[in-house]
Amino acid sequence: MKGKKIMFVGDSLSLNQWQSLTCMLHAAVPQSNFTLQRKGDLSTFYFQDYNISLMLFRNAFLVDLVKEKMGRILKLDSIQNGNSWKGFDMLIFNTWHWWLHKGSAKAWDYIQKGDKLYKDMDRLIAFNEGLKTWSKWVDSNIDPSHTKVFFQGISPTHYNGAEWNATKGTTCNHETQPITGSKYPGGPLPAVAVVKGVLSNMSTAVGLLDVTQLSQMRKDGHPSIYGIDGQKGNDCSHWCLAGVPDTWNQFLYAILVMGGKSIDLNY
């Protein structure tokens, strides 16, 4: 990848994987010179000796979230911010977790599709519409002979112990062992089917890092009360580093070594 520019585009789970990859690469060449800069929503880790730029563009929805007089509007069929994603050798996209937020944590006041405004809608339907807009942008703007495109996949959370046959009030906090067996007791996440459905209808080949099931088994892998907010919070969404995202990056590496062909990341 010497001389290449790689960009992750997405929410804090993209940050998780980007941080993991920068640490793994630095560990492989610890004496290599590097710079780390952040400007607005763009963070850049640059390996000077190899002329490799590893970037993160923070964008929770991929489609546009704009502030207008009436409030914050999530525009399901608009993706003007995509101009910032052009000209890279590899793009790794991700979105999902912010689509689920409710109450004060919700990022929008209205959802817009076409000329219609909605106070809210079924989140899977909204996610599907937004992802289709993203897929059309990729098909219209990306030259696959120059740019490899991946979708990071859906990262699971572990806030409900009933999903792994514990009590409902159990979370990832105090969990120290992975789930045994080869299937997650709580079953698949519906968002995965949405992602696979959208990718299957694209003309551009997009590699899916289908990490959901293997990550579901790692209820022990989250920061829990040792996250940013300490014991004021309980983070069962993000992942400890070193940890699960390192495995995601090992799979990404395997796909690149195989020439971009998909591999089965599940059991």
Cβ pair 130, 62 in contact under 8 A: yes
Residue of 96 and 233 predicted with greater confidence: 96
The pLDDT tens digits of the residues spanning 67-103 come to 999 999 999 999 998 999 999 999 999 999 999 999 9
User: Cα–Cα distance between 51 and 125 in angstroms, integer?
Assistant: 41
> What value does the mean pLDDT take over residues 21-36?
96
Q: Which pLDDT value is given to residue 259?
A: 75
The confidence band for 171, taking pLDDT boundaries of 50, 70 and 90, is very high
Residue found under tokens 């911010």: 81
Enumerate the H helices of 117-210 as residue ranges.
Answer: 123-141, 190-200
Output the CA angle 118-119-122, nearest 5 degrees: 75
Question: Which tokens in the block code for residue 87?
Answer: 């000209």
Question: Which residues belong to the active site?
Answer: 12, 235, 238
With 80 as the cut, is the pLDDT of residue 108 above it?
yes
Q: Which pLDDT value is given to residue 267?
A: 37
- The β-bridge relationship of strands 64-68 and 34-39 is unpaired
Contacts of residues 117-122 at CB distance under 8 Å and 24 or more positions apart, as own/partner, are 117/73
Q: What are phi and psi of 247, to 5 degrees?
A: -65, -40
Cα–Cα separations (whole angstroms), residue 13 to 9, 94, 107, 237: 10, 8, 17, 8
Q: What number of other Cβ atoms are within 10 A of residue 186's Cβ?
A: 16
User: Cα–Cα distance between 150 and 67 in angstroms, integer?
Assistant: 29
